[in-house]
Amino acid sequence: MYSKVIEASKRLAGAAHKTPVFSSRLLNEHAGNEIYLKCENFQRMGAFKFRGAYNALSNLTPEAKAKGVVTYSSGNHAQAIALAGKLLKVATTVIVPNDAPAVKLKAAQGYGASIVLYDRETVAREDIAKQMIADHGYTLIPPFDHEDVIAGQGTAAMELLDEVGSLDYLFVQCGGGGLLSGCAAYTKNALPQCQVYGVEPDTADDATKSFKTGTLHTAHNPPTIADGLRTPALGKLTFPLIRQYVDDMITVSDDEILSTMYYLWTRLKIVVEPSGAVSLAPLFHRKLPLQGKRVGVILSGGNVDVRLAGELFANISD
The catalytic residues are 49, 300
Return d(Cα 281, Cα 1) in angstroms, integer. Answer: 28
Q: Is 306 in the site for a copy of itself (CB under 8 A)?
A: yes
Return d(Cα 96, Cα 80) in angstroms, integer. Answer: 13
Question: Is residue 14 classed exposed, middle or buried when 0-12, 13-18 and 19+ CB atoms within 10 A define those classes?
Answer: exposed
Q: Is 171 in the site for a copy of itself (CB under 8 A)?
A: no
**Are the C-beta atoms of residues 306 and 271 closer than 8 Å to each other?**
yes
- Amino acid residing at 262: Y
Interface with a copy of itself (CB under 8 A), residue total 24
Kindly tell me which residue out of 269, 284, 294, 296 binds a copy of itself, with binding defined by CB under 8 A. Answer: 269
> Which contiguous run of DSSP H or E holds residue 252?
strand 248-252
Give whichever of 84 and 219 is closer to a copy of itself, judged by the CB atom.
84
Give whichever of 171 and 262 is closer to a copy of itself, judged by the CB atom.
262
3 state SS of 31: helix
Return d(Cα 185, Cα 297) in angstroms, integer. Answer: 16
Kindly tell me which residue out of 271, 295, 297, 298 binds a copy of itself, with binding defined by CB under 8 A. Answer: 271
Give whichever of 236 and 307 is closer to a copy of itself, judged by the CB atom.
307
Q: Minimum distance from CB of 82 to a copy of itself (Å)?
A: 15
Q: Is 82 in the site for a copy of itself (CB under 8 A)?
A: no
What are residue 169's DSSP bridge partners? 195, 295
Distances (CA, A) of 273 to 39, 152, 261: 12, 21, 7
Give whichever of 1 and 82 is closer to a copy of itself, judged by the CB atom.
82
Q: Is 75 in the site for a copy of itself (CB under 8 A)?
A: no
Which region, judged by CB under 8 A, interacts with a copy of itself, from 90-98, 116-124, 188-196, 302-310? 302-310
Contact residues: a copy of itself, CB under 8 A = 20, 41-42, 46, 103, 106, 262, 265-266, 268-272, 302, 306-311, 313-314, 318
